[in-house]
Structures are given as C-alpha cells and as structure tokens.
Amino acid sequence: TQYRINSGRDIQDIPYIEIENAMKYALVQQIAIDKEDLKRLTAQQLGYTRKGNNINIATEYALNELVKAEFATLQGDKVCMKG
C-alpha cells in the first residue's frame, strides 16, 4: 500500500492505484467516515489543499474501485471499511 505524499504532480498524472492506496490508508485510520470527508482526506494525503473537479473525479473513481474490490461499503453517505 504505497503512495507518494505531495509529489507535485497533477492529479491526472497520478495512477488510480496510488489514489486508491491513499484512500485505503485514510479509511483504515477512520474505519467509517463520510464520503466527502474521505475524498478530502485522500486529496490531502496526496498533497492537495483544495478539492477541484479533477480531484473529485479521481477520488470518486478510486472510491468506486474500493467498493467493487469489496474493501469498503457505502451506506448512504458513509463509507465503511469492510471486514
């Protein structure tokens, strides 16, 4: 589970797996968290202080992948770590 913190890259240049890893780390720390808060924390861990449209798209995609992989579940607006 690796990702580079504050690498100075544009969010579009970061592989989705790296965004997913940052999101996994944030979710493991929180166990359950509001969806938008998780996306914000993920962006912060990657070095972004503001959440624009591209960051929103990338973190939404990463979250959907974690749900598909059964790492997390969505319960309304709350994301919970599975297992």
Nearest in space to 42 (alpha carbons), one of 3, 82, 81, 83: 3
Residue 38: per-residue pLDDT: 97
Mean pLDDT to the nearest integer, 9-27: 93
Residues facing residue 80 across a β-bridge: 32, 73
- Give the whole-number percent of the chain exceeding pLDDT 90: 76
* pLDDT recorded at residue 9: 81
What value does the mean pLDDT of the chain take? 91
Query: What span, in angstroms and rounded, lies between the C-alpha atoms of 73 and 48?
Result: 25
Kindly tell me if the per-residue pLDDT of 50 is higher than 90: no
The average pLDDT across 62-77 equals 96
- 3-state class of 79 per DSSP? strand
Q: What percent of the chain has pLDDT over 70?
A: 95
Q: How far apart are CA 5 and CA 64, in angstroms?
A: 22
Q: Is 56 left (phi over 0), alpha (psi -120 to 50) or beta?
A: alpha
